[in-house]
Amino acid sequence: MSNKTHWKQYINLDYIGAYALDGKDLTVKIISVAQEQVTGPNGKQEMCMVARLDGQKPLILNRTNAKTITKLYNSPFVEDWSGKYITLYPTTTRFGGETVECLRIRTVVPQVKRIDTAGAAATLRACTTLAELQAAYTALPKYVQTATVAVKDDMKAKLTPADPNTATK
């Protein structure tokens, strides 16, 4: 048994991470921030500060990113962050003696053009097959795809047939 940690143990696909940004910045709207029980990919549970994002998977906020939001919006109170926009970017940091990918928040308030994703999200939620979902999603402009990826992923999970080999009898 190895004492080494495989990099995949640090990835929790339930939350947005550097892997999801494909090397690009992503501007998102914070819906809410709260303490939540988070289960890591290795099954370990811990309380974390989690930002719920509009149209994206949630973001686990570390101390560095929380301080950046505090400075951006002149408030250390998480309740004041709802409705605010932040720009995420992928980078690296040292963790456990290794250099690992991470998400950071740009230190400037993003200038955002308002994107109304409600119509696109409703279209995706109305899909009844995976083929229909794929066609609807790929027809969206890239910036709307980015804003609705969580809805697409949720619908994909709902529309994917259960594997008969794993079904209980």
User: Based on the domain organization, do 70 and 82 belong to the same domain?
Assistant: yes
Q: For 2-20, what is each residue's pLDDT tens digit? A: 676 655 555 666 788 888 8
pLDDT of residue 96: 82
pTM of the model: 0.62
Residue 137 lies in a domain: yes
Count of residues for the chain?
A: 169
User: Based on the domain organization, do 66 and 146 belong to the same domain?
Assistant: no
CA–CA dist 147, 52 (Å, integer):
13
Residue 12 lies in a domain: yes
Number of other CB atoms surrounding residue 147 within 10 Å: 24
Residue 166 lies in a domain: no
Partners of residue 85 on adjacent β-strands: 29
Q: Domain residues for 38? A: 7-112
User: Based on the domain organization, do 11 and 79 belong to the same domain?
Assistant: yes
User: Based on the domain organization, do 156 and 87 belong to the same domain?
Assistant: no
Q: For 45-87, what is each residue's pLDDT tens digit? A: 889 999 999 888 999 999 999 999 999 999 999 999 999 999 9
